[in-house]
């Protein structure tokens, strides 16, 4: 676990943010040490204060109250800034970590390949957004808590050793002499509590892991309904969606109930053990007090010191739920990291840069199960060439485009095409990012501020009703029909003017006359671009001078 913890933590503490982070951490540690020192002073104050009460000393009583006032003021100042600076460090770490994990997820198209190669790594969005936040928060809280416990233990164990004195007793005719016996009592008491806590609470690790997964599954189900609202409404699929969401609700509620049941058992023990710890040192120390070996102030100081020592040793008992949750978070992040590492190592054929044209030689494309889609494919396309790919559904037409894009991991061979003016892929369901219509139209290029040209493009692809709305912000993927979204994609291609344009059923939602208008626009305005299209309609042959037919079992025919 600690090896995994360091693997997750190390990137931040060796990053460009490390010096600011180390500075903040040093101040936070200093304030934590100051807090422990204040507790030592308060412990000494207990002795003085209770002795003034026992001795009926009003002058000493007032002086003790005055001392408590300035001790409390310093303690409050330390507590406030310890919290403030710790939150500042947590925010810096979380910001860096979320950005780092997001970048890893986006790099090498890992977000896409994870869906192909790893079905076990559920809900990567939840792991990046929530698990990173909980990891940073829990790590800082537990690490500083552990440090406080260690410093508190070593600060008070000497005090408790001195105050408790030796214990003398006879057992079986033998005399025993135990120096600093209250320290040994605290150690044994904490050890017993920790062992029982671990035994009772161990299942919480797995339950917390499972709870996060099921909660994320439920949220993903809600997002799916929102993203596909129109399709669900057209199908009148409310009953089916309700059934799906109810099953996911039942799943996380069942696991949460198991979590509560286990937590209840743990709370029974920790509450009992914690309450017993309040009176236990008084019971153990009472014989020396009634023997008049120590005054009331000494007994109260022993009680306070025992509480501090036991509190430090109580770290596992008091923090076990947090530790279990922390372990579950580490497991989820490590499995995500491992999945990303495996995906990044996948061999993928990357198209090389060519001076001109599109060249494919000995290209083999397979399904994930190894079934051949294309075997030994060869293509030679020059500027202005248009290739139409057709064949039965499931024969690998779209997969070939993914291979040409360099994102399909189950392929090998040689590919090269001109990249100076860019490559653009138009999918059947275009991606419309959030933002203004201008940003949607120019994506993924930088938005143009030439309103005249952009409005002319909208007019050319028959989106007259959107002319003049370039700076409107809306959820365009919801308010535009699929046909309108495909028109946006064609306008995008005309704006970017790529050297290679690959279209996967990019006009399937349009009628044949409007499809012909858009293809003629591409023909007229991108005369030097290489066009590769996937489509079923025979009317598309008019706009292409090469035809690739998929025949199945890896066979193909080029005419």
Question: How far is it, in rounded angstroms, from Cα 407 to Cα 112?
Answer: 8
Strands 423-426 and 500-504: parallel
Look up tokens 């860019």; give the residue: 422
Concatenating the DSSP letter of every residue in 374-415 gives EEEEEEEE-TT-EEEEE-STTSSHHHHHHHHHT--SSEEEEE
Question: How far is it, in rounded angstroms, from Cα 184 to Cα 201?
Answer: 25
Q: Which residues of 429-463 are buried (b: 16+ CB within 10 A; e: fewer)?
A: ebebeeebbbbbbbbeeebeeeeeebbebbebbbb
Burial class (CB in 10 A: 0-12, 13-18, 19+), 233: exposed
For residue 291, what are its two tokens? 């023997």
C-beta neighbour count of 517 within 10 angstroms: 16
Q: How far is CA 97 from CA 179, 183, 254, 328, in A?
A: 50, 42, 32, 18
The helix or strand, by DSSP H or E, that contains position 13, with its residue range, turns out to be helix 2-13
Q: The domain 352-558: what is its CATH number?
A: 3.40.50.300
Strand order in the sheet with 411-418: 352-354, 411-418, 358-366, 372-381
* Model confidence pTM above 0.75: no
Spatial contact of 140 and 97, defined as CB atoms under 8 Å apart: no
The helix or strand, by DSSP H or E, that contains position 474, with its residue range, turns out to be strand 473-474
Question: How far is it, in rounded angstroms, from Cα 95 to Cα 100?
Answer: 9
CA dihedral 368, 373, 376, 379 (to 10 degrees): -110
Can you give the pLDDT of all 559 residues of the chain as single tens digits? 788 888 888 889 998 888 999 999 999 999 988 988 888 888 788 878 888 888 888 888 899 899 999 989 999 999 899 889 999 998 999 999 988 888 888 887 788 878 777 666 777 777 888 888 888 988 998 888 888 778 877 777 777 777 776 766 667 677 777 777 777 877 888 788 878 888 888 888 788 888 888 888 888 888 788 777 767 776 777 888 888 888 889 988 998 898 888 888 888 887 888 777 777 777 777 777 787 777 777 777 777 777 777 777 777 666 777 777 888 888 888 888 888 888 877 777 778 877 788 898 999 998 888 889 999 999 998 989 999 999 888 888 888 888 888 788 888 888 888 876 678 889 888 888 888 999 999 988 888 888 999 999 999 999 999 998 999 988 888 889 889 999 999 999 999 999 889 999 999 889 999 999 999 999 999 998 999 999 888 889 999 999 999 887 888 888 8
Closest to 373 (Cα-Cα) out of 343, 388, 393, 350 = 393
Spatial contact of 366 and 420, defined as CB atoms under 8 Å apart: no
pLDDT of residue 317: 65
Spatial contact of 375 and 554, defined as CB atoms under 8 Å apart: yes
C-beta neighbour count of 58 within 10 angstroms: 8
Task: Give the contacts of 142 (CB within 8 A, at least 6 positions apart).
Answer: 319, 322, 323, 326
Question: How far is it, in rounded angstroms, from Cα 79 to Cα 35?
Answer: 7
Spatial contact of 129 and 215, defined as CB atoms under 8 Å apart: no
pLDDT of residue 456: 93
What percent of the residues of the chain are helix, what percent strand, and what percent coil, each to the nearest 5?
65, 15, 20
DSSP state, 466? Answer: G
What SS3 class is residue 557?
strand
199 phi/psi in degrees, rounded to 5: -65, -40
Q: How far is CA 374 from CA 215, 252, 360, 410, in A?
A: 41, 44, 12, 11
- Listed by start position, the domains of the chain span 2-344, 352-558
pLDDT of residue 119: 65
Spatial contact of 532 and 387, defined as CB atoms under 8 Å apart: yes
462 phi/psi in degrees, rounded to 5: 65, 40
pLDDT of residue 230: 64
C-beta neighbour count of 419 within 10 angstroms: 14
Q: Between vectors from CA 117 to CA 112 and to CA 120, what angle results, nearest 5°? A: 100
Question: How far is it, in rounded angstroms, from Cα 260 to Cα 252?
Answer: 12
Spatial contact of 105 and 124, defined as CB atoms under 8 Å apart: yes
Any idea which architecture 2-344 has in CATH? Up-down Bundle (1.20)
């Amino acid at each position: 676990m600690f090896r995994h913890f360091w693997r997750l933590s190390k990137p931040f503490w060796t990053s460009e943010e490390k010096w600011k982070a180390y500075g903040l951490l040093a101040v936070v540690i200093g304030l934590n040490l100051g807090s422990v020192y204040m507790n030592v002073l308060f412990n000494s104050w207990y002795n003085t204060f209770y002795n003034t009460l026992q001795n009926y000393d009003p002058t000493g009583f007032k002086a003790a109250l005055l001392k408590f006032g300035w001790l409390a003021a310093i303690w409050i100042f330390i507590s406030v800034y310890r919290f403030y600076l710790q939150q500042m460090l947590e925010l810096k770490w979380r910001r860096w970590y979320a950005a780092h994990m997001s970048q890893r997820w986006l790099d090498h198209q890992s977000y896409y390949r994870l869906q192909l190669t790893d079905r076990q790594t559920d809900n990567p969005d939840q792991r990046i957004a929530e698990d990173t936040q909980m990891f940073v928060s829990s790590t800082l809280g537990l690490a500083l808590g552990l440090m406080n416990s260690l410093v508190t233990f070593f600060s008070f164990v000497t005090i408790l050793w001195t105050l408790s004195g030796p214990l003398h007793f006879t057992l079986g005719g033998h005399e025993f002499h135990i120096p600093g016996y209250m320290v040994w009592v605290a150690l044994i008491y904490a050890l017993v509590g920790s062992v029982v806590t671990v035994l009772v609470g161990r299942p919480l690790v797995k339950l917390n892991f499972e709870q996060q997964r099921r909660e994320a599954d439920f949220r993903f189900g809600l997002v799916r309904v929102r993203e596909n609202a129109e399709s669900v409404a057209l199908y009148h699929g409310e009953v089916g969606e309700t059934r799906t969401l109810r099953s996911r609700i039942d799943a996380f509620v069942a696991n949460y109930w198991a979590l509560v049941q286990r937590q209840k058992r743990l709370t029974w023990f920790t509450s009992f053990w914690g309450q017993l710890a309040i009176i236990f040192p008084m019971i153990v120390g009472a014989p020396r007090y009634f023997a008049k070996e120590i005054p009331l102030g000494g007994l109260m100081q022993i009680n306070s010191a025992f509480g501090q020592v036991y509190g430090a040793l109580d770290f596992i008992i008091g923090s076990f739920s947090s530790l279990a949750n922390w372990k579950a978070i580490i497991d989820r992040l490590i499995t995500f990291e491992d999945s990303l590492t495996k995906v990044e190592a996948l061999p993928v054929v990357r198209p090389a840069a060519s001076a001109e044209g599109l060249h494919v030689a000995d290209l083999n494309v397979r399904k994930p199960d190894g079934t051949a889609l294309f075997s030994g494919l060869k293509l030679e396309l020059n500027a202005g060439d248009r290739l139409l790919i057709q064949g039965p559904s499931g024969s690998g037409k779209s997969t070939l485009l993914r291979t040409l894009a360099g994102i399909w991991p189950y392929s090998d061979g040689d590919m090269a095409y001109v990249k100076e003016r860019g490559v653009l892929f138009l999918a059947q369901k275009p991606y419309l990012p959030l933002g203004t219509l201008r940003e949607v139209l120019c994506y993924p290029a930088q938005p143009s501020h030439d309103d005249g040209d952009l409005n002319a493009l909208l007019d050319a692809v028959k989106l007259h009703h959107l002319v003049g709305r370039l700076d409107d912000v809306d959820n365009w993927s919801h308010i535009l029909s699929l046909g309108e979204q495909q028109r946006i994609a064609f306008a995008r291609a005309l704006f970017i003017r790529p050297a290679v344009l690959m279209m996967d059923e990019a006009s399937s939602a349009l009628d044949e006359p409007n499809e012909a208008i858009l293809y003629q626009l591409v023909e007229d305005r991108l005369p030097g671009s290489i066009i590769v299209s996937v489509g079923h309609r025979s009317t598309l042959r008019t706009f292409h001078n090469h035809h690739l037919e998929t025949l199945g079992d890896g066979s193909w025919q080029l005419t």
